[in-house]
Structure 1
Amino acid sequence: MMTTQRRHLIAGFALCSLLAAAPLSSLAQQAEADIPPQIMTRLSGLSAAQLDFLRGFQPLRVIPTREKLNQELDRRTPEQIEQFVSDMMMAVEAMAFRPGVDMAEIPLNPEASRFNSFKVVTPEILNEYLREPGPFSVHRYIHQWGGIPTFAGALVAADQADLIAGDVEVAIVGIPQSMSSGSRDARNAPEAVRSMHVLGTHDVYSMVDPLAVLNVVDYGDISVDRMSVHRGVQHVYERIMEISETGAVPFVVGGDHSLMYPTVKAVHDIDAGDPLTVVHFGANYNAEPTRAHLLSDRDAVYRLISEAVVDGSNVIQVGLRGSQATPQSFQWLREQGVKYHTMAEVERHGWDVVAERVIDEARSATDRVYISLDVSVLDPAQLTAAGRAAPGGLTVRELAPLLRRLCAETQIAGFEIMDLAPMLDLSYVSAMNANYMMNACLSGVAMRKMGLDDENYLDPLTVDHGQN
């Protein structure tokens, strides 16, 4: 019978394994590691299988690093080591999927009469009011301060025909999904962002009014199954592709960051012959392949790279500092060619240097650029409503100019802002700053259309009062 102490030990090992969560390929590289001689002298009581286990990579599912494993062995007696290795092997075995015992999939009810109701689009003939295609207003007043909120106060488009008829250049769409590992309120982000100002307003740095330059619409929300990330993936993919097919740039308001997989894939597949560069802002690297669910906010980047949707060398990550990343994680990113920029790099070289590196990498990668912005890239002091926040992030003052430059100096194929959890901020600040980040990019897209795509363009009126 297992003692309480032993149960706690195994539970602790399981927790450590979740924190380690390193890619299999990186762990395997550390297999057949040498065991220090001073430790080998105390392993005579171990079986051949236990010795093989210690030399392989499986212990790193329990203990974060080989160095830490050796420390744990070195401080134990031979008898304690036998128990230690035995418990580690039990913990590793307990973590694995058990055929016939564990569910391999979540059962659904195929007899449900409304099985696919969440994604059925209303046929045109069923619309109560027939109209000619094109964007339309839901506002009563010329200068609307209340009423029905829309993204940027823009006109509304309900279907692809509206986008085409309106010659729409930017379609802002919400995806109210929150079924991943962070604080689950991202489904309320589209509503919170719509209700807040700042998006679509005059940019005082470039003196550009994006709504006066671009045809922008609110494309409503994309419906998802609120009890399953996986059931909504294909529908999200189809709706984002529906936008991109018209030539409009999708601006996506999530939703948790698992949505990055279908959104980026859709924009990529519109022109698969033209590679896509993805600039991913966030505290977390989102490339953990060892979790039970094949798609979540923690592994969207891994899925995109491993499935060759994007080449790792065309992925740029900015602001990484989340504690789940391990040395093995960064090694895996290096092996894939990912250009990652951590807050440690910012600490060493300064933000201006890092920002210039990001701009240079984005401009020299591919012609099309997709920006995936997790609000966790900002420090919680600046935006508290992040699903997976981490201290020590960027400021609005640092991030907004970089977004404006990226969107002015490269060809933006898509933009998304993810993981805003409004319930974590009872003030208006998080939603306001989220809108401000989107407006920085929207202004950049307008600047590029106007030919104001010079390096770090700022209107001369804004940078000097002109009084000598």
Structure 2
Amino acid sequence: MDELKDNRLSVQSNWQAKNVAALEAAFIRPRVYGDTPSFMELPVAWDADDLKGADAIFVGIPWEGDRILNSTTFATMGERPADPDAILTRSGAYDAPEYIRKYSVHYSVLSSGGLWPEVGPGFRLPDHVKVVDYRDVEVKEWDVEETARRAIDKVSDIVRAGAVPLVIGGDHSIPYMVMKAISDNTQGKTGIVFFDTHYDLTPAGGRLNAGNALGRIFASCQVDPKNLVEIGIRGTQSPAEWAQVAEWIGCTVFTITDVEKVGMHEVIARAIEIASQDTERIYVSLDVDVIDPLHFPAQKYPDAFGLTARQVREALRVLSRETNLAGFDICCIGPAYDHKGTSALIANRFYVEVLIGLALRKRSMTNDK
């Protein structure tokens, strides 16, 4: 009798264990840390071994270094916490990776299996691309060079896995970290399409910051300035020297007026042609201050009459579908200045559009074989 009771208890225990596991799988969503969900509630990659087979990999670099106090003065670290009433001294980009992930649940692949009806009947994103979340780079406060080294190492894991890094910053020093990882682990040159209000063309010397990241890229990566295309330049916050540098190095600049005159479709077609000339791939960087703050209020350095969110979406759709995309970042999001998650939703949708573009490109290349 005791043996029978023990058997029943054993069966009951096994049944409970299996059902608890099933319930956990159904209701406990993937987390990268604390209560922060993974991007789109996709699987979490805990180490480099978990990256195998992925087509695209999301990763956060929550670094914010220099912030502009005025046109000539820079502080050395973003203010914590960000002052929601700040005017020129806005900060908080270090909070963006967590903030964007939390709002990414609106696009969770667990909700509909990744169904995107506007792409095509029955189109499910996970059917075409494998995507994981590689968590965040561990930043070292006040030490941008050590943080950059850690970021380069982590993004290098992604590049070596054969995947496209989808990066959430952080300030606009991030493109150097990502491009350095790409350059160190690939052959041939890379072109860059750079969406920004500002030129960001300070020479490479001195401590890495948002202003000299491109200078660092030219100095240490396989990138020719003639393959750099800047889109959306406007306003008075760029030093006059940056415009002179742009002309001197031979990069291509499309101001906001240029976009308004010929349209985003034509600008992107020309950008791809320029960035692709004698290169193997294209890297895309999006500083959100290129967008009109009416559409995207969560900005550190806002300026009126920028690109619309729809124009940026159009550009990202084309870039991800029609080029060999090396990587994509979104930088300079200031969560403290958002309005009820509006910017977070748009930023997440930008990543989704890139993923859809990668999926359609992969499907097209597979069908052509």
Please state which band the TM-score falls in when normalised by the shorter chain.
0.7 to 0.9
The residue aligned with 2:153 is 238
Q: Which amino acid aligns with 2:348?
A: N
What does residue range 124-203 of structure 1 map to in structure 2 within 5 Å?
140-141=25-26, 149-164=37-52, 167-181=53-67, 183-196=90-103, 197-198=106-107, 202-203=115-116
Q: Which amino acid aligns with 1:404?
A: R
What does residue range 204-353 of structure 1 map to in structure 2 within 5 Å?
204-207=117-120, 208-271=123-186, 273-289=187-203, 293-307=206-220, 309-326=222-239, 328-353=241-266
CA contact (8 A) 1:409 1:453 kept: no
The residue aligned with 1:428 is 341
CA contact (8 A) 1:363 1:409 kept: no
Q: Which amino acid aligns with 1:191?
A: E
Cα distance, 1:411 vs structure 2: 0.8
- Tell me, what secondary structure is at the counterpart of 1:391? coil
CA contact (8 A) 2:321 2:357 kept: yes
Cα distance, 1:145 vs structure 2: 10
CA contact (8 A) 2:39 2:101 kept: yes
CA contact (8 A) 1:199 1:438 kept: no
After superposition, the C-alpha distances for 1:337-377 in whole angstroms (9 at most, x for unaligned) are 21121112123333343233223334445221111111112
Cα distance, 1:250 vs structure 2: 1.0
How has the CA–CA distance of structure 1 residues 452 and 163 changed in structure 2, closer, same or farther, with 3 Å as cutoff?
closer
Cα distance, 1:199 vs structure 2: 6.9
Cα distance, 1:192 vs structure 2: 0.8
How has the CA–CA distance of structure 1 residues 205 and 321 changed in structure 2, closer, same or farther, with 3 Å as cutoff?
farther
Q: Which has the greater radius of gyration?
A: 1
CA contact (8 A) 1:408 1:452 kept: no
Q: Which amino acid aligns with 2:25?
A: R
The residue aligned with 2:353 is 440
- Tell me, what secondary structure is at the counterpart of 2:173? helix
Q: Which amino acid aligns with 1:188?
A: D
Segment drifting more, 299-308 vs 407-416: 299-308
Q: Which amino acid aligns with 2:330?
A: I
After superposition, the C-alpha distances for 1:22-61 in whole angstroms (9 at most, x for unaligned) are xxxxxxxxxxxxxxxxxxxxxxxxxxxxxxxxxxxxxxxx
How has the CA–CA distance of structure 1 residues 286 and 328 changed in structure 2, closer, same or farther, with 3 Å as cutoff?
closer
CA contact (8 A) 1:180 1:258 kept: no
- Tell me, what secondary structure is at the counterpart of 2:26? coil
Segment drifting more, 215-224 vs 326-335: 326-335
Give the TM-score, by structure 2 length.
0.78
- Give 5+ residue unaligned stretches, structure 1: 1-136, 455-468
Q: Which amino acid aligns with 2:61?
A: I
CA contact (8 A) 1:367 1:410 kept: no
Number of aligned positions between the proteins? 314
CA contact (8 A) 2:227 2:276 kept: no
Cα distance in 2 between the residues matched to 1:161 and 1:176: 23
- Tell me, what secondary structure is at the counterpart of 1:451? helix
How has the CA–CA distance of structure 1 residues 161 and 290 changed in structure 2, closer, same or farther, with 3 Å as cutoff?
closer
Cα distance in 2 between the residues matched to 1:286 and 1:203: 36
Q: Considering only aligned residues, what root-mean-square deviation do their CA atoms show, in Å? A: 2.7
Cα distance, 1:330 vs structure 2: 2.2
Cα distance in 2 between the residues matched to 1:221 and 1:152: 15
Q: RCO greater where, 1 or 2, for CA within 8 Å and sep 6 or more?
A: 2
The residue aligned with 1:413 is 326
What does residue range 81-120 of structure 1 map to in structure 2 within 5 Å?
none
After superposition, the C-alpha distances for 1:283-304 in whole angstroms (9 at most, x for unaligned) are 111112399x531112211221
- Tell me, what secondary structure is at the counterpart of 2:135? strand
CA contact (8 A) 2:200 2:242 kept: no
Cα distance, 1:322 vs structure 2: 4.0
Cα distance, 1:416 vs structure 2: 0.9
Cα distance in 1 between the residues matched to 2:222 and 2:23: 38
Cα distance, 1:168 vs structure 2: 1.4
After superposition, the C-alpha distances for 1:293-320 in whole angstroms (9 at most, x for unaligned) are 5311122112212445411011111111
After superposition, the C-alpha distances for 1:175-202 in whole angstroms (9 at most, x for unaligned) are 1112222532111111111111237654
Q: Which amino acid aligns with 2:127?
A: A
Cα distance, 1:423 vs structure 2: 0.9
Cα distance, 1:231 vs structure 2: 2.4
Cα distance, 1:140 vs structure 2: 3.3
- Give 5+ residue unaligned stretches, structure 2: 1-21, 69-89
The residue aligned with 2:281 is 368
Cα distance in 1 between the residues matched to 2:327 and 2:359: 14
Give the TM-score, by structure 1 length.
0.62
Cα distance, 1:226 vs structure 2: 2.1
Q: Which amino acid aligns with 1:155?
A: P
